[in-house]
Amino acid sequence: MEKIKLFDPVVTRREEFVIKQVLKSRFWAYGGGAGKVLEFERKFNDYTGSKECVAVNNGTSALHLALSLFDIKDKEVILPSLSFVSTANAVIYNGGKPVFVDVDPTTMCIDETHIEESITSKTKVVLPVHFGGFPCNLTQIKKLCKQNKIKLVEDAAHAAGASYNNTPIGSHGNAVCFSFHPVKNLAMPTGGAITLNDENSKNLAKNLKIRCIKNAIQSGMFLSSILDSSKKSQFVHEENARKKCRNWNSLLSNT
């Protein structure tokens, strides 16, 4: 019986070449975001059509850091009952209360009618998950957020390359969180990103990079931790991702 692989990343000579270049440079990581990391941030920002982009070490860190921007301590965050554990953990880690609502059985994404039923005076953020890369009903969700002055943070771990109403995922919510885990569309050994679309996105991006460095110092950058949200941007992975973004549209059209 033939086994179905959990993931099968595309690795060409181009990826091998750029990884060797970074390895030989001896400049592999930097918490402030520079060099190949900065190049990737700009390219992914252009691709998604967002205002700002900050690269991080994984999707869990992206969720944790994005939620930290909106002070959810003792506040409620509405999220779907179907998701990876990191979605809810990021809420709890920031002192918030997860409020689970059911999903639409036809899309497996959060049911927007249940969002409306769950909004209270304590609701600070709606956190939809684009399950399996299938976009949520962002039109209705954004409308509810605007009406109730609630922030929209998207879990787009599965959704790099997806679009909603012909607009790339990454350009809709106040913050959108991506994962580049090997099972994801844009597959790396590790990596993640946050795209920002607030009016003050530039300040938020700067704030994120400061928090990344601060978290690295507090957790012990060279020590193992349960949740390491240091912005240990690894040039090896970011340059690999940057090269893959070059052929992103052709890769998606062939899947």
For β-strands 123-126 and 76-80, DSSP reports them as parallel
Distance CA 93, CA 95 (A): 6
**What are 195's strand-pairing partners?**
53, 176
User: Is 184 a residue of the active site?
Assistant: yes
- Active-site choice (36, 151, 184, 244): 184
Among 54, 58, 164, 59, smallest CA distance to 109 is for 164
Among 183, 142, 171, smallest CA distance to 59 is for 183
Amino acid identity at 43: K
Distance CA 165, CA 138 (A): 9
Tokens matching residue 142: 């954004």
Other Cβ atoms closer than 10 A to 77: 27
Which DSSP string corresponds to 200-226? THHHHHHHHHHHHHHHHHHH-TTS--S
55 neighbors 230 (Cβ within 8 angstroms): no
Instruction: Tell me the catalytic residues.
Output: 184
